[in-house]
């Protein structure tokens, strides 16, 4: 009897081990590890939101999708992020309109037309209207948009007081490395662009390689760039738009059920990120101003008029150079109709 009992236990243990070894590899094969990169500073609201999104994805997919977030540009600038996704070193990213425009130039219509948008409500209307078309174009290039976000307005930070476009012409202006169209455009407009990687902004300000940087205030605070560029021109230069994207081949390996759950979570978190990002942008200005002595040049009619005039001079060059002509015209049309209440 004792021998039978021992034999039964041995068989039971063998069966459990056999089941364990047969199921575990199958479960592991189903699991997707998504490595997501972003320039958003570590521990910022964006970093925290992305990690929370990952937690919700894991729960909604019954542990079949695991998101790993690399914040703060530790994987390089946005060009490098896209390149890494193309060779499956990473599988996802939160990137700005500049990076998205490298995938498809149509996205430049949301971020790379200075002084085009007057309010964030206008921006939201244009993004909502154009997003189906933009998402299809991006999908055709091998990437899937899960959610769109914005973080409010980019302001202009500088080492010396800057008020007008003429002041900017005298300085060394940051522009994104790899964006040759933007660099050429700025040169044609009389500026002195210096193409560098966005992860090198702070060090380049410190060494004098550049002295003017259009950037969101939350980034100026998080990177402490305000120490080397203690002046800020408070104009609505351009919005900072972005999206969470996933490599299409990786996305297509996820079940339709899990895709639907993940996209729903991403869109909800994206709305929360937009609201938090806008608030964080404005609070960063207050902190830098009150605690660290940031000198803010408030906008007035004369300042706004000077920047609008310079921007309008650039529109004929931007159209069909930086932004495809049909996209530029559609943004103009949508804004005109929105402002007219149509």
CATH of the domain at 161: 3.40.190.170
The predicted pLDDT at position 182 comes to 86
CA distance 7 to 15: 12
Q: Residue 41: its pLDDT value, please?
A: 87
18 domain-assigned: no
Residue 315, in any domain of the structure: yes
Cβ-Cβ contacts under 8 Å for 211 (sequence gap 6 or more) = 158, 159, 160, 171, 172, 205, 229
In a domain, 143, yes or no: yes
- Judge whether 42 lies within some domain: yes
Report how far apart, in Å, the C-alpha atoms of 174 and of each of 150, 204, 323 are.
21, 9, 20
What confidence score (pLDDT) does residue 209 get? 97
Which residue, among 251, 241, 240, 243, has the nearest Cα to 270 in the 3D structure?
243
Domain count, the chain: 1
pTM of the shown model: 0.86
Instruction: Look at residue 204 and tell me if it is in a domain.
Output: yes
Yes or no: say if 229 and 156 are a contact pair by the CB < 8 Å rule.
Answer: no
CB 259 within 8 A of CB 144: no
Biggest distance spanned by C-alpha atoms of the chain: 100
Does 1 map to a domain?
no
pLDDT at position 30 is 63
10 lies in some domain: no
Q: Is residue 178 part of a domain?
A: yes
> Using alpha carbons only, what angle is made at residue 20 by residues 18 and 26, rounded to the nearest 5 degrees?
110
Domain that holds residue 59: 31-339
Q: Which parts of the chain have pLDDT scores under 70? A: 1-30
């Amino acid at each position: 009897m004792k021998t039978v009992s021992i034999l039964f236990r041995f068989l039971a243990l063998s069966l459990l081990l056999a089941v364990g070894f047969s199921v575990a590899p199958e479960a592991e094969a189903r699991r997707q590890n998504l490595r997501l990169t972003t320039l958003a500073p570590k521990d910022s609201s964006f970093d925290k939101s992305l990690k929370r999104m990952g937690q919700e994805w894991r729960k909604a997919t019954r542990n079949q999708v695991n998101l790993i977030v690399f914040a703060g540009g530790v994987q390089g600038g946005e060009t490098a992020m896209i390149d890494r996704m193309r060779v499956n070193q990473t599988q996802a990213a939160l990137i700005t309109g500049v990076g998205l425009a490298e995938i498809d130039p149509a996205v430049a219509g949301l971020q790379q037309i200075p002084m085009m948008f007057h309010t964030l409500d206008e921006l939201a209307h244009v993004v909502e209207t154009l997003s189906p078309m933009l998402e299809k174009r991006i999908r055709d290039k091998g990437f899937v948009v899960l959610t769109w976000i914005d973080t409010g307005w980019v302001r202009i930070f500088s080492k010396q007081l800057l008020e007008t476009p003429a002041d900017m012409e005298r300085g060394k202006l940051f522009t994104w490395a790899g964006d040759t169209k933007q660099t050429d455009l700025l040169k044609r407009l009389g500026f002195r662009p210096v193409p560098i990687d966005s992860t090198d902004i702070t060090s380049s300000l410190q060494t004098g390689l550049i002295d003017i940087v259009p950037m969101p205030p939350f980034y100026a605070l998080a990177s402490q760039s305000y120490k080397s560029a203690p002046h800020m021109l408070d104009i609505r230069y351009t919005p900072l738009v972005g999206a969470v994207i996933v490599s299409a081949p990786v996305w297509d390996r996820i079940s339709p059920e899990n895709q639907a759950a993940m996209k729903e979570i991403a869109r909800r978190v994206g709305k929360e990120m937009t609201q938090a990002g806008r608030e964080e942008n404005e609070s960063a200005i207050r902190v830098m101003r009150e605690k660290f002595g940031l000198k803010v040049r408030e906008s007035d009619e004369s300042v706004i008029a000077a920047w609008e005039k310079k921007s309008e001079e650039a529109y004929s060059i931007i159209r069909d150079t930086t932004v495809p002509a049909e996209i530029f015209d559609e943004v103009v049309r949508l804004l005109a109709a929105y402002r007219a209440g149509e």
